[in-house]
Amino acid sequence: MSGNESRLQAIYQITNREPVQVSKPEVMNKIWATDVFNLAKMEESIAKNAFKQVKNTVQTGTPLDPSTADVVAAAMKEWAISKGAKFYSHIFYPMTNITAEKHDGFIVTNSDGAAITEFTGSLLIKGEPDGSSFPNGSIRMTNAARGYTAWDPTSPAYIMQTANGSTLMIPSVFMSWTGEALDKKIPLLRSNHAMNKAAHRVLSLMGEKEISTLNSSCGAEQEYFLIDTNFANSRPDLLLAGRTLFGASPAKGQEFDDHYFGAIPARVQVFMQDLEDKLFRLGIPAKTHHNEVAPAQFEIAPYYESANVAADHQQLMMTLLKSTARKHGFTCLLHEKPFAGINGSGKHVNWSVGNSTQGNLLDPGKTPHDNLNFLLFCGAVIRGVHKFGPLLRAAIATASNDHRLGANEAPPAILSVYLGDQLEKVYKDILEGKLIKAAAAGVMDLGLSQILHFERDPGDRNRTSPFAFTGNRFEFRAVGSSQSVSGPLVTMNTMLADSLNWVADKLEIELKKGSTQTIAVMAVLKELMQKHGNVVFGGDGYSSEWHRMAVEERGLKNLPTTADALPALREESVKKLFESTGVLSPVELESRYEVYAEQYILSIEVEAKLVVDMAKTLIYPAAIRYLSDLAMAASSMADLNVELDDSIAQKVAAETNAMLAAVAKLSEVIGRHDFATTEDHMKFCAHEIRPLMVAVRVHADALEAEVADELWPLPKYSEMLFIK
């Protein structure tokens, strides 16, 4: 199609679209978790003893014996077949942010040629995908062995429904034959284990007698854009890169704030309900949905769950967001910055740790004793963010998230902690020794229970902080919308484990001196604040003053790009952190560095090639056609002796030439591969390729503003964002 024909076609299709057929709404208890083989279903279908074992495994992470696995497999198969499943699949999460699966049939034929179904404990426990082409950061190159998947009984199996079939999905880990983690789930399980162990130490020292297994929890708020698929299909950049590489700002953007929390467009509301219906059937507790700041931007947030299950559910939700959107004629963009000039998308990861005996340790609680536990855990988080800020930054480092961090809409690439006025003052008083005095004077509750009575009003929150305390949890706000939440959760759990161990060591020393618990806690926290209090910041994280102060006065790191951030994974302190907690071996950590770096480089190279391609084959021809129209008009007018203003022709010619010059430079650098180190290659992408892509874009966008609308080939921002 030439000129603006594809755009007109798209608008025609959208205007004349038939509403999507959706089924009648069902009441909640009829659909809730119907497609999940959860504990309740297991209890109905297996013997009491076996069930007790499984439950214990789920709650405490102890291994399951093979005979019990056989029992579970048989029950799972019966249930899945009764729901129409003919295939099963171990679903796993490679080091990239995607979900992977390999499907196998339940069916085998016997010697008579009859079909029987088979699914044993060992088939349930272990799958063997030919995962050799998943990035592994050279872990498996050495022995050329294949990786294998293993059932994670702590995350329930479920049925994935498609229009004409269904498949039993078995959440799994993915590892090499030599036992190295090749996925995002293994480290998450290990990090939880490390946090549990360290938390036990602290709680025991605090005199707790009964301490059940601690788990981390996660509630992730997912932002996304919905664009009509007719538009997306005419934009190679949206199809291949998930974001627009070109596009002039529309006359109207998000200035009016009229989209935020506005009425949800009817077509989107229908989509959301359809999606939520699917989520509920899969036991995913979708809780809130609303419009976001940018036009065509929305958010969905499920209620929080244990981190491992939440991470699986989050991946599943991203898959369903995309597939359900497609059914409704939308393309769901999970990219962090699909459109320049308007807000991008993040994924706020709300995180807390707790158990059934002590409750949520990041909740100040009601008694002075609860307050002390809380202050220790919260203090441990402060220390973690300070000590491992660059690691946290690395955990959210992707080519796409770099567009968002540090822009004036998302937290800066400097990691600091926001506590809120009241809590910040408590820690300040601790630092200044005021609370030690109060404790020594026998004021047992130190006034904390009053001070820590938080307002949970979101208006009270600092939206410019990357890491904010929000009353009973921390909210890591710098996570990218397309990312798996596992990396951030692993990092938070592991840094907390390390800090809690530090706290426990210090507490032991203080208590040995004969100090009371309160005095010991205050002394430990005082030292902690002296060393790490610098990371606490309640001001405006977007301001340039903070960018200066953070680096110059507080010694915090500002790591604007992934190229700056990823090398944190190779620092000695980080290696030590992961090794000492048993979360990642040095080999596993190094492989992660390699995989993430490669992903970064690849995605920038793909985009750069796309920029060259689109500039040459879509934008240049439009500009030339317009120029030739203008030239023709000018020469006809000259024949009539009419003088015509040629300023537009001049401008279009100048921008076209400038664009081509930038394209030539960009093409030249894309091919470079002679780098001494991966780090050099990443830096080259960040500091050479990216700016040249922007240079091409600047001229292309200037052309969009000049060239006749009927010749412009790419759907414009105003169309994509406002036509629904």
Query: Taking CB under 6 A as the rule, does residue 217 contact ligand ADP?
Result: yes
Q: How far apart are CA 392 and CA 558, in angstroms?
A: 12
Question: Is residue 86 classed as helix, strand or coil in its secondary structure?
Answer: strand
Cα–Cα–Cα angle for 212, 215, 220, rounded to 5 degrees: 155
Q: How far apart are CA 287 and CA 293, in angstroms?
A: 19
Q: Scanning residues 46 to 85, which ones bind Mg ion (CB under 5 A)?
A: none
Q: How far apart are CA 10 and CA 50, in angstroms?
A: 57
Q: What's the sign of the alpha-carbon dihedral 438, 444, 447, 451?
A: positive
Query: Taking CB under 5 A as the rule, does residue 473 contact Mg ion?
Result: no
Residue from 348, 383, 681, 697 binding Mg ion (CB under 5 A): 348
CB of residue 57 to ligand ADP, shortest distance in Å: 23
Looking at residue 616, the DSSP 8-state letter turns out to be I
Q: How far apart are CA 699 and CA 135, in angstroms?
A: 37
Q: Residue 312: exposed, middle, or buried by beta-carbon count in 10 A (0-12, 13-18, 19+)? A: buried
Give the bridge partners for 300, in sequence order.
222, 289
- In this chain, which residue has its C-beta nearest to ligand ADP? 219
Give which of ligand ADP, Mg ion, none residue 722 binds (C-beta under 5 to 8 Å, depending on kind).
none
Q: Which stretch binds ligand ADP (CB under 6 A): 108-116, 346-354, 623-631, 643-651?
A: 346-354
Query: Taking CB under 6 A as the rule, does residue 177 contact ligand ADP?
Result: no
**38: nearest Cα among 76, 81, 87, 70:** 76
CB of residue 313 to ligand ADP, shortest distance in Å: 11
Q: Which is nearer to ligand ADP, 257 or 572 (CB)?
A: 257
Q: Are 299 and 222 in contact (CB under 8 A)?
A: yes
Q: Which stretch binds Mg ion (CB under 5 A): 217-225, 400-408, 646-654, 685-693?
A: 217-225
Q: How far apart are CA 301 and CA 320, in angstroms?
A: 14
CB of residue 485 to ligand ADP, shortest distance in Å: 11
Q: How far is CA 301 from CA 289, 304, 318, 350, 401, in A?
A: 6, 9, 12, 10, 20
Phi-psi region of 52 (alpha: psi -120 to 50; beta: other; left: phi over 0): alpha
Q: Scanning residues 279 to 298, which ones bind ligand ADP (CB under 6 A)?
A: 288
For residues 238 to 277, the per-residue mask of contacts with ligand ADP, x marking binding by CB under 6 A and - elsewhere, is: ----------------------------------------
Cβ partners under 8 Å of residue 204, min gap 6:
211
Q: How far apart are CA 553 and CA 549, in angstroms?
A: 5
Q: Which is nearer to Mg ion, 328 or 348 (CB)?
A: 348
Quick one: which H or E segment has residue 300?
Answer: strand 297-302
**DSSP secondary structure string, 464-500?**
T-SEEE-SSSEEETT-BTTS-SHHHHHHHHHHHHHHH
Q: Are 216 and 307 in contact (CB under 8 A)?
A: yes
Give which of Mg ion, ligand ADP, none residue 458 binds (C-beta under 5 to 8 Å, depending on kind).
ligand ADP
Residue from 121, 219, 411, 480 binding ligand ADP (CB under 6 A): 219
**317: nearest Cα among 99, 626, 17, 31:** 99
Applying CB under 5 A, the site for Mg ion has a residue count of: 2
CB of residue 461 to ligand ADP, shortest distance in Å: 7
Query: Taking CB under 5 A as the rule, does residue 185 contact Mg ion?
Result: no
**DSSP secondary structure string, 358-418?**
TEETTS--SSHHHHHHHHHHHHHHHHHHHHTHHHHHHHT--TTGGGTTTSTTS--SB--BB
CB of residue 220 to ligand ADP, shortest distance in Å: 6
Give which of Mg ion, ligand ADP, none residue 529 binds (C-beta under 5 to 8 Å, depending on kind).
none
CB of residue 221 to Mg ion, shortest distance in Å: 5
Q: How far apart are CA 708 and CA 627, in angstroms?
A: 10
Quick one: which H or E segment has residue 162?
Answer: strand 157-162
Give which of Mg ion, ligand ADP, none residue 657 binds (C-beta under 5 to 8 Å, depending on kind).
none
Applying CB under 6 A, the site for ligand ADP has a residue count of: 17
Residue from 70, 180, 221, 409 binding ligand ADP (CB under 6 A): 221
Quick one: which H or E segment has residue 149?
Answer: strand 148-151
Residue from 303, 432, 513, 722 binding ligand ADP (CB under 6 A): 303
Q: Which is nearer to ligand ADP, 287 or 326 (CB)?
A: 287
Q: Do strands 330-333 and 165-175 pair parallel, antiparallel, or not at all (unpaired)?
A: unpaired
CB of residue 299 to ligand ADP, shortest distance in Å: 7
CB of residue 449 to Mg ion, shortest distance in Å: 26
Query: Taking CB under 6 A as the rule, does residue 473 contact ligand ADP?
Result: yes
Distance, CA of 30 to chain centre: 31
Cβ partners under 8 Å of residue 602, min gap 6:
none
Residue from 224, 351, 537, 596 binding ligand ADP (CB under 6 A): 351
Q: How far apart are CA 136 and CA 181, in angstroms?
A: 9
Q: Scanning residues 220 to 279, which ones bind Mg ion (CB under 5 A)?
A: 221
Query: Taking CB under 6 A as the rule, does residue 158 contact ligand ADP?
Result: no
Query: Taking CB under 6 A as the rule, does residue 349 contact ligand ADP?
Result: no
Q: Are 105 and 54 in contact (CB under 8 A)?
A: no
Q: Which is nearer to Mg ion, 348 or 383 (CB)?
A: 348
Q: Scanning residues 105 to 144, which ones bind ligand ADP (CB under 6 A)?
A: none
Q: Residue 541: exposed, middle, or buried by beta-carbon count in 10 A (0-12, 13-18, 19+)? A: buried
Q: Which stretch binds ligand ADP (CB under 6 A): 112-120, 347-355, 408-416, 441-449?
A: 347-355
Query: Taking CB under 5 A as the rule, does residue 200 contact Mg ion?
Result: no
Q: Which stretch binds ligand ADP (CB under 6 A): 299-307, 366-374, 666-674, 693-701?
A: 299-307
CB of residue 260 to Mg ion, shortest distance in Å: 14
Residue from 222, 401, 462, 472 binding ligand ADP (CB under 6 A): 472
**Amino acid present at 23:** S
Give which of ligand ADP, Mg ion, none residue 303 binds (C-beta under 5 to 8 Å, depending on kind).
ligand ADP
CB of residue 404 to Mg ion, shortest distance in Å: 15
Q: Which is nearer to ligand ADP, 139 or 300 (CB)?
A: 300
- In this chain, which residue has its C-beta nearest to Mg ion? 348
CB of residue 216 to ligand ADP, shortest distance in Å: 8
Q: Which is nearer to ligand ADP, 477 or 526 (CB)?
A: 477
Looking at residue 533, the DSSP 8-state letter turns out to be G
Give which of ligand ADP, Mg ion, none residue 94 binds (C-beta under 5 to 8 Å, depending on kind).
none
Q: Which is nearer to Mg ion, 85 or 468 (CB)?
A: 468
Q: Which is nearer to ligand ADP, 304 or 675 (CB)?
A: 304
Query: Taking CB under 6 A as the rule, does residue 304 contact ligand ADP?
Result: yes
Query: Taking CB under 6 A as the rule, does residue 458 contact ligand ADP?
Result: yes
Q: Are 225 and 348 in contact (CB under 8 A)?
A: no
Q: Residue 572: exposed, middle, or buried by beta-carbon count in 10 A (0-12, 13-18, 19+)? A: exposed
Residues that bind ligand ADP (CB under 6 A): 217-219, 221, 288, 301-304, 348, 350-352, 360, 458, 472-473
Residues that bind Mg ion (CB under 5 A): 221, 348
